[in-house]
Structure 1
């Protein structure tokens, strides 16, 4: 496939990287293979296209650079797409239906696609994203079912229209749905789900549900018997929508710790900040929401696409979509942009898009330089702080001109003092509480660069260490050296000398540099 693309399209310089991106993405999503050295493949592309090596030689290079990776049972399963979210508003006067004749359990056949029970299942908008369980945990749950072990009851709520909402047990029931329907992410196109690799692993270690169900092989006799007879217990909560939200918080506070952001998202799910955050993230989790549109898809892409890949030098603005509780990151960014104005959802959507366009299209911020640290991990503190600073810049022409004029020195200072942001945020205890202080730090630094006088900055932040001399231990020095190499690979604008995203050998300038 990779070579055929070259043969047919004769990729130019920019398109060679596109072909390689597609090839690596294909391997990563649909196989258990990976490329050992991307640079070797890149060099061989040029040699092949310039006819310095034959197709057979090119094939040999690819073959020897592709290796099989060990299956990681600790990778997360994104099962969010399997059960849609209901669009009940907090203000709607939904009451639970009649209590009589409610089922007390369900079995696996009820979870097959097309079955009425499965079709009625929904998750309330405040329910956690169903993407936190590992493959190992999903495997254990399926085995527990087949071994007739204890599985806690699923807690449900029914609205007056007969829709059934999962209040507790979304990961449990979604894991069983995934196995029954052999869907570990295949209908979720945007998120990197590794669904085929996961399906192969589960089928190898447990067996395919459809195969077990239809097989006459004696080795499946016990499993078939359990599937035919066993059911999962159901408990029902009653009351209106607000009562259900209270029940959800109470249940989860007794089990898995519920964060303050989660609690706020539940209690304020009727606000535009919550609705927009859910709508943006839904594009990457396979969900469909009435608040989704072309703009929310564009916002999702600006935060997360192309997906994080150190091999491909992709460093998205919002970090990796596969990290835990990403909704919190988006929610706080949306709140920072709203800035207490309490905008309606359309106005908030437009303002957020304008801020991201300002960051990415006008300033051409190097996301790699700003939002990824010495260990290449995403820096949430910087993300919040710079979003706030960008809002200020976009509304203040004088400050923007100051940034453009002093950009090189400003960014080099941030790199030389990479640990400042974390230290300021730590003093505020939480990243989401530190964004105003971080924005003030950026502004004060900008003024210091303009005046070539850093005394006010050092006086205000007298608890910080300035310069590279504070890296004393061998480990710290090694991390610093790796970070300097990491930063040195970022291209620079030929006008101002500041960092810019793109290829190292490309001649580039920021759109804001006239």
Structure 2
């Protein structure tokens, strides 16, 4: 089975239900009840007026196999559920209420664009992730093997003697088969309520996606949408001024490159890993939205629509101030800058960056990215800053990270107990606090583990396990291979020449062993690789303490 999903998001443009444009009119007395693939080509009459609601979730949840199966089902005349549409009298555009993936799969086949050709390239500003290209190529190959391309079948009717009987049969089916349509009557509010009701049946909208749809004009959802696609794709922020749009897209790309590069595949071959896992996945949407809310202190009751105006949830709770829609982009930029600052504290090469090694902090011992650990590290580093403990951390960083590497499976145990994302972020952060405090106080490793298990201090579900506690088959699984690669990479990882902890070369800086102020030169022999913060704050502290 394919690893990556096919991104068909570019093929049906988004638009506001209530947009006004020339061509709107009263509802016609009669409207077609089916649509053919030939209507969906660039030259077809139906395709130019097709739209998705501007809040529609990303059309990127089908595998190459599923796209191929849909196209084949259409050509075989199999029953395909009706596409549900709504026609705006204000613009004359036709909106897809249900069936965007089905319709997009057929459009992709007709255009030979599975997320990597002309329409998609324009939509994503020519920035197509490797995973997206791989999924597109896999789909194109499966389509070719299964039914043939749209252009091939179109030519088959004109040249029947050059194709197989099977392809000729499919080509003849193409000439008369169509998809059934159903229409939602009424105005824009009826269309939107129909969208929510219909899309919560069968394959329901993911709760995070639904939250982001309903909060689509609020700064947390706008910021998350920008980060997820590095500022490309549908511009949910297009109503803002051009300068604000440019700032949003610039920050989005910087943060995306910082946390999602290099691209991550299932098989780990080195320790050069992205700090936030795979950028091209369904899980990344949840993680990024949680990250934006987490960094900016936004709780669900502040932006979910049932919040209303200021209200109290209980007699002992403070009033909740609702998060309002962002009318000019200023709040979105504020949220995005906060995320950028937090990300630069753990990754990158800015002077304040601790340059945390992804393999140490964000991946389990089997090589699986742990979103909760990522959020926990963000919070833990911010706590170190607030409590002025960065120097203490740097003094004990080597031993701290050795503890995390040796007991990597503690992450899995905590996540299994508490759940994903923010539910486990706080317990993981608590583990970090206890470990660092124990090291500062000179407590042994066994003593620190006892503190983690002590019901009076943490009561974390951590248990020391040995190689004998695992059961393995005869062949090496992907998890086992990932574990071996990670362990080897961590054992051979370079070390910071100031604090002694593991160094991720992508987040390292070159430092003068003998400072320039003390006569040090730029000769190679006077150069050393260090963490950015060690090259600035911690080094200056060490120099001052020696006076």
Q: What band does the TM-score fall into relative to the shorter chain?
A: 0.7 to 0.9
Contact 2:52 2:96 in 1 (8 A): yes
Match of 2:64 in 1: 135
Report which stretch shifted further, 209-218 or 276-285: 276-285
Over alpha carbons, which structure has the higher Rg? 2
Aligned partners of 1:491 and 1:503 also within 8 Å: no
Distance (whole Å) between structure 2 residues aligned to residue 106 and residue 328 of structure 1:
35
* Distance across 2 between alignment mates of 1:162 and 1:452: 73
Task: Write the distance in 2 (CA, Å) between the matches of 1:273 and 1:490.
Answer: 37
**C-alpha contact (below 8 Å) 1:245/1:267 kept by paired residues:** no
How far 1:417 moved relative to its partner?
A: 1.9
Give the TM-score of the pair, scaled to structure 1: 0.76
For residues 84-120 of structure 1, the C-alpha deviation after alignment (integer angstroms, 9 at most, x for no partner) is 333569xx999x9743244322211221125453233
How many angstroms apart in 1 are the aligned matches of 2:466 and 2:214? 47
Q: Structure 1 residue aligned with 2:381, among 390, 401, 404?
A: 390
Deviation at 1:364, TM superposition (A): 0.9
Is 2:179 aligned against 1:232? yes
Q: 1:157·1:238 contact (CA, 8 Å) conserved in 2?
A: yes
3-state DSSP class of the match of 2:182?
A: strand
Name the stretch that deviates more: 376-385 or 177-186: 376-385
1:425 to 415, 418, 421: 415
Indicate the RMSD between aligned Cα atoms, in angstroms: 3.3
Shift of 1:161: 2.4
Unaligned runs of 5+ in 2: 122-126, 239-244, 300-322, 324-329, 511-527, 540-547
1:201 CA displacement? 3.5
Q: Deviation per CA, 1:248-272, whole angstroms, max 9, x where unpaired?
A: 3322332124433233222222221
Answer whether contact 1:191 1:284 (CA < 8 A) is retained: no
Instruction: Determine if the alignment matches structure 1 residue 337 to structure 2 residue 295.
Output: yes
Change (3 A) 1:475 1:490: farther
- Give the alignment partner of residue 223 of structure 1, picking from 164, 170, 180: 170
The 1:475/1:226 distance shift into structure 2, 3 A limit, reads closer
Q: Is the 8 A contact 1:448 1:457 kept in 2?
A: no
Q: Indicate the residue corresponding to 1:264 in structure 2.
A: 211
Choose 240-249 or 347-356, whichever is displaced more.
Answer: 240-249
Give the Cα separation in 2 of the matches to 1:414 and 1:239. Answer: 59
Aligned counterparts of 2:500 and 2:192: Cα–Cα separation in 1: 52
Seen in structure 2, the aligned counterparts of structure 1 residues 303 and 249 have a Cα distance that, compared at 3 Å, is farther
Distance 1:390 1:102 in 2: 60
- Contact 2:259–2:347 (CA<8 Å) still a contact in 1? no
Deviates more, 1:228-237 or 1:238-247: 238-247
Q: How much does 1:168 deviate? A: 1.6
CA distance, structure 2, for counterparts of residue 180 and residue 288 of structure 1: 25
Q: After TM superposition, give the deviation of residue 501 of structure 1 in Å.
A: 1.4
Match of 2:128 among 177, 190, 193: 190
Runs of 5+ consecutive residues of structure 1 not aligned to the other structure: 1-71
Give how far 1:288 is off. 4.2
1:99 and 2:38 equivalent?
Answer: no
Alpha carbons of structure 1 residues 235 and 326: separation in structure 2 relative to 1, 3 Å: farther
The match for 1:205 among 146, 163, 182 is 146
Structure-2 change in CA distance of 1:312 and 1:473 (3 Å)? closer
Classify 1:229/1:252 alpha carbon distance in 2 versus 1 (closer, same or farther; 3 Å). Answer: same
Deviations 1:125-147 (A, max 9, x none): 43232222111111111111111
For residues 411-445 of structure 1, give each alpha carbon's deviation from its aligned partner in whole angstroms, at most 9, with x where no partner exists.
Answer: 11112222223333333344332323332332332
Q: C-alpha offsets along residues 364-393 of structure 1, whole Å, 9 cap, x if unaligned?
A: 111122212222121122122223323434
Contact 1:82 1:177 in 2 (8 A): yes
Counterpart-to-counterpart distance in 2, 1:164 and 1:298: 36
Residue 331 of structure 1 and its aligned partner are, at CA, apart by 0.9
What is aligned with 2:461?
Answer: 464
Q: Which has the higher helix share?
A: 1
Q: Are residues 268 and 376 of structure 1, via their aligned partners in 2, closer, same or farther at CA, if it must alter by over 3 Å?
A: same
Number of paired residues?
439
Q: Which moved more, 1:380-389 or 1:309-318?
A: 309-318
Change (3 A) 1:404 1:351: same
Distance 1:473 1:311, change over 3 A: closer
For normalisation by structure 2, the TM-score amounts to 0.72
Q: Is the aligned partner of 1:402 residue 2:392?
A: yes
- SS of 1:109's equivalent? helix
SS across alignment from 2:505: coil
> How do 1:62-211 and structure 2 match up within 5 A?
73=2, 75-86=4-15, 98-100=26-28, 101-159=30-88, 160-186=90-116, 187-188=120-121, 189-192=127-130, 193-194=133-134, 195-211=136-152
Helix, strand or coil: the match of 2:53?
coil
Alignment of 1:509 with 2:450, yes or no, is: no
